[in-house]
Amino acid sequence: MKSLSLFTIILLCFAILIVDIMAYYWLQSITQLIDSIFLSVSIHVLFWVFTFGLITSILVLKVTLDDISPIRKHLLISRFYGLAILSFIPKLIFVIIISILYFTNFILSDSKSLIIVPIAGLFSGFLPFFVILYGILKAKYRFKIHHHIIRSKLLPKSFDGLKIVQISDLHIGSFNYRYKKLELAIEKINALKPDYIFITGDLVNNYAWELRGWDKIFKKMKSKKGKYAILGNHDYGDYSQWETPKAKQANFEAIQQFYKTIDFRLLLNEADLISNNIDKIAIIGIENWGKPPFKQYGDLHRALVNVKAIPFKILLSHDPTHWAEEVKDKTDITLTLAGHTHGMQAAFQYKKLQWSPIKYKFKYWAGLYKHNKQFLYVNRGLGWLGFPARIGMRPEITFLELKTKM
């Protein structure tokens, strides 16, 4: 909310008010069917108490935001964000559906429609309300394992069957020190018995203090051979106000130190060789590289200097746009692992069909992509940011098995 001007916030509140006025107009067509005047009036009063309470709270929060501690600030913004979406979207859908039903006389052309239309309209509002409510209360911690087998002729035979777990975008501050929630994900990860675990950026929302106490939890994450990590756009502290450049740098160094504490090797525009007998593969990790407004700290050419002769390479790069801009058809990197998009934390998925509005911003936004002999996997994120929910886009644990293509 801090990044939005007061004028923008006022416009958003005005939009909420307009939708609520229209929703109230149609709500009266439903409450007039109620025999009890007391119940009908109570519904009307509660409707407007909630509306003006929400708008007032949003404006007060915006005005007093600078005086609130960073911990409470994030929690309050997320909660009001969730509450606003929970209120606005169902009412908007309710208004649209019931308006269509009334003005086109969609169901019946006789007086019975006076009862059926309000009921159908009411249902159209309640359905998205409960879907969003489920996403807020339950789905954001229902971790899902996505299992894929990737076959490549470039993979040395001694690495056939290599198991990799990828997690991304934990945004650990959003967990609000609910250590047991992440432990559920770690139990799933450990049950997969991975050879390697990769974290592909955005460990925090902005601050190193978000990591307080989490080292004991992360240390429970087990791999047979190694653990690697890279930084995401939120790990640099670029979205916060700092008293001095030194304070920002100290925050940045504390995040890097946390990875050492939990036994993850943080790759900063560098590569590491993994050996199995005489065979080798390369793990390459670059700093965040994205299109503006996201900064480009990544230096792929520097990271590749010592591993150009290695046939099979795995690249960890937070933003999937990097794959299209610098990796695909421009390098011999076989597998790139990314995150960043969160799948917008909202999507429609059914079997192999998936859709989300985020696809209009990111060409590669969730799941496995292949171009000739090169692969990209975009993790849907383990945590959440801003909107405190997951709707049709459960938090993801990626489980990849590498196979030598015969």
> How does pLDDT run across 89-137, given as a tens digit for each residue?
999 999 998 888 777 765 545 555 556 666 777 788 889 999 999 999 9
Residue 26 has pLDDT above 90, yes or no: no
The b/e string for 90-100 (b: 16+ C-beta within 10 A; e otherwise) is: bbbbbbebbee
In 115-239, at which residue ranges do the beta strands (DSSP E only) sit? 144-152, 162-167, 196-200, 226-230
Write out the residue range of the structural domain in which residue 293 sits. 142-404
Residue 318 counted as domain residue: yes
One domain, residues 81 and 203: no
Instruction: List strands edge to edge, sheet with 226-230.
Output: 144-152, 396-404, 162-167, 196-200, 226-230, 265-266
Q: What is the pLDDT of residues 199-217, one digit of tens each?
A: 999 999 999 999 999 999 9
Angle at 99 (CA atoms; ends 98, 104), nearest 5 degrees: 105
pTM over 0.75? The answer is yes
Minimum mean pLDDT range among 28-42, 293-307, 383-397 = 28-42
- For residue 174, the tally of other CB atoms under 10 A from its CB is 20
Burial class (CB in 10 A: 0-12, 13-18, 19+), 109: exposed
CA-only gyration radius of the chain, Å: 25
Amino acid 214: pLDDT = 98
Cis before 70 (ω within 30): no
One domain, residues 48 and 117: yes
Residue 52 counted as domain residue: yes
Residue 1 counted as domain residue: no
Instruction: Among 80, 112, 137, identify where a domain stops.
Output: 137
One domain, residues 106 and 157: no
Q: How far apart are CA 388 and CA 372, in angstroms?
A: 38
One domain, residues 262 and 204: yes
DSSP conformation letters of 167-197: E----GGGGTT-HHHHHHHHHHHHHT--SEE
State which amino acid sits at residue 224: K
Residue in the structure block whose two tokens are 């307080």:
212
Element (H, E) at 275: strand 270-276
Higher pLDDT, 351 or 339: 339
Q: In the predicted model, what is the mean pLDDT of residues 366-388?
A: 96
Residue 389 counted as domain residue: yes
One domain, residues 37 and 121: yes
**Over the chain, what is the mean pLDDT?**
91
One domain, residues 225 and 257: yes
One domain, residues 168 and 116: no
Element (H, E) at 355: strand 353-355
Q: What is the pLDDT of residues 48-97, one digit of tens each?
A: 999 999 999 888 888 887 667 676 777 788 888 888 899 999 999 999 98
Instruction: Among 106, 137, 168, identify where a domain stops.
Output: 137
Amino acid 2: pLDDT = 45
One domain, residues 392 and 345: yes
